[in-house]
Amino acid sequence: MTSRIVILAVVARPLYLVILLASVWVLLRGHDEPGGGFIGGLMAVSATILWAVAHGTAAARARLPLGDALWPAVIGLLLAALSGVPGLLGGGAYLTHLWWTLALGPAELKLSTVLLFDIGVYLAVWGALAGYALALLAVDERDQPGGAP
């Protein structure tokens, strides 16, 4: 292991956290400022790839929600699909979004099915594209202990 890779491995942990936090921030502010589920998801993918380059694809895969790329992808898809159901039950068309405002003292928290939908997109993009990226990156890995499954 060369010193370059050691440095990458050391830097990867804080960077990974920072990128993931940033991606969540981009996701949450997306409705009002540039950002949203797609961009947030792609940022999360880049965090995963950073981990894969530093520690191998198997380790990166293990750090994904529920330990595999397919889980976030499928859960995100389900979440996005289900976020349309309340609107349907409320008498609107499928994917008619509902909004609630919670007053928390001075600030107020806006909750909506739109947020659920966007989180679903975020998870699905993260899972699906990370799945692609990890599978393709794994092609180049020597079959070493600790490599990809």
Partner 1 sequence: MSVAGRTLFTLAPLTALVAVLWVLGTQTLPFDFGWDWIPALDIELAFRIDGLSALMLLMITGVGVAVFVYAGGYLSGHPDQKRAYLLLSLFMVAMIGCVTADHVLVLFVFWEGTSLLSFLLVGFYHERRESRKSAQQSLLVTGTGGLILLAGFIVLGQAVGSYRLSEIIVAVPAMAPTPALTLAMGLVLIGAFTKSAQFPFHFWLPNAMAAPTPVSAYLHSATMVKLGVYLLARLDPAFGEWPLWVWLLKGVGSVTAAWGMVLALRERDLKRILAWSTVATLGTLVVLVGLRGESASLAVGALLLAHALYKAPLFFVAGNIDHGAGTRLIDRLGGLRRQMPWTAAAALLAAASLAGLPLSFGFVAKDVISEAKGLGEVFTFARMANTVFGTIAVAVAGITAVRVFWLRVPPGGVREAHEGGAALVLPPLLLGLVGVVLGVYPLLAQDLLAAAAAAMSPAGAGNAVPAPLDPQPDLGSLLLGLMFGVAVFLLWDRCHRGLEWLAVRTGRIGMSSVYERSLEWIPRVAAWTTRRMQTGSLPAYVAWVLASVVLALGVMLWLGSAEWTWPARAVPSPGVAGAAGLIVLGAVFACLMRDRLVVLLSVGLIGYGSAVMFLFLGAPDVAYTQFTMETVFVIVAAAVLLKLRRMGLDRAVPEPAWRPGALLLSLLVASVLTALLLAVYATPFDPVLSAFFGEQSVPGAYGRNVVNVILVDFRALDTLGEVAVVVLSLLAALPILQAWRRRARARRPGVGT
Partner 2 sequence: MIWAVAAAVWITLASGVYLCLSRDVFRVALGLAVVGAGVNLALLASGRLGAGLPAVVPKGEQLLVGASNPLPQALVLTAIVIGFALVCFSLALVLGLIRDAGTDDALELRAAEPVPGDEVKPPQTDPAHAPDWPPEGRP
- From residue 100, give the alpha-carbon distance in Å to each of 23, 24, 113: 24, 21, 9
CA distance 120 to 57: 24
Q: Which of 1, 2, 34, 93 binds partner 2 (CB under 8 A)?
A: 34
* Contact of 36 with 43, CB cutoff 8 Å: no
Q: Which of 8, 9, 39, 59 binds partner 1 (CB under 8 A)?
A: 39
β-bridge mates for residue 112, sequence order: 99
* Contact of 93 with 9, CB cutoff 8 Å: no
Q: Which of 15, 22, 24, 42 binds partner 2 (CB under 8 A)?
A: 42
Residue 12 interaction partner, one of partner 2, partner 1, none, beta carbon < 5-8 Å per kind: none
* Contact of 131 with 60, CB cutoff 8 Å: no
Binding-residue total with partner 1 (CB under 8 A): 53
Phi, psi of 93 (to 5 degrees): -75, 165
Judged by CB under 8 A, does residue 126 bind partner 1? no
List contacts with partner 1 (CB under 8 A). Answer: 30-39, 42-43, 45-46, 49, 53, 69-70, 73-74, 76-77, 80-81, 84, 94-95, 97, 99, 110, 112, 114, 117-118, 120-121, 124-125, 127-129, 131-133, 135-140, 143, 147-148
List contacts with partner 2 (CB under 8 A). Answer: 32-34, 38, 42, 125, 128-129, 132-133, 135-136, 139
